[in-house]
Amino acid sequence: MPLVKQLSLFLENEPGHLKVPCQALGRAGIDILTMSLADTQQFGILRLVVEEWERARSVLQEAGCVVTVTDLLAIEVPDRPGGLAGLLEQFEAAKLGIEYLYPFPSGTRRGSMLLVFRLDDPLEAAERLRRQGVRVLDRAEVLARLAG
């Protein structure tokens, strides 16, 4: 199962530092599909999902960024009150902890939305969640959904 690949970059928590990776990707014609930014007093962590993750990693490294690649699970969540709570019950039943999650803003479609989850062992988590009846999308399904 090809998982969704996330690129993570540590950035100094100073004005203008977020611009560097965004400009590098823009100049290379690489679109950011979704992103998350978390910060501390000293640094920020920029998490990106792009279509061409290998090329994006190279572009970012050439721009002087330190990049790590992480596997994520993309999960379709019912877009209704209590939809996420119901999914989290299935995570609990499968005995899975979540490190973090964030949405694909353009991944919403009538009745559902798309979230990406960072877990300790994404392949094992995917198997456990599927047994619980959770819809886990592979990378190709995510890209097709975002395109359509």
Which one-letter DSSP state was computed for residue 91? H
- Residue 115 has what pLDDT? 93
pLDDT for the residue 1 = 64
> CA-to-CA distance for 22 and 24, rounded, in angstroms?
6
pLDDT in tens, 99-135: 999 998 766 667 788 999 999 999 999 999 999 889 8
pLDDT of residue 106: 64
Q: What is the pLDDT of residue 74?
A: 94
What is the residue extent of each domain of the chain?
Answer: 4-70, 73-147
Domains 4-70 and 73-147 share a fold: yes
Q: What is the pLDDT of residue 148?
A: 61
Per-residue pLDDT of 5-61, as tens digits, reads 999 999 887 788 899 999 999 999 999 999 999 987 778 899 999 989 999 999 999
Task: Name the superfamily (CATH) of residues 73-147.
Answer: VC0802-like (3.30.2130.10)
- Per residue, what are the HEC states of 107-130? HCECCEEEEEEECCCHHHHHHHHH
Write down the CATH number for the domain with range 4-70.
3.30.2130.10
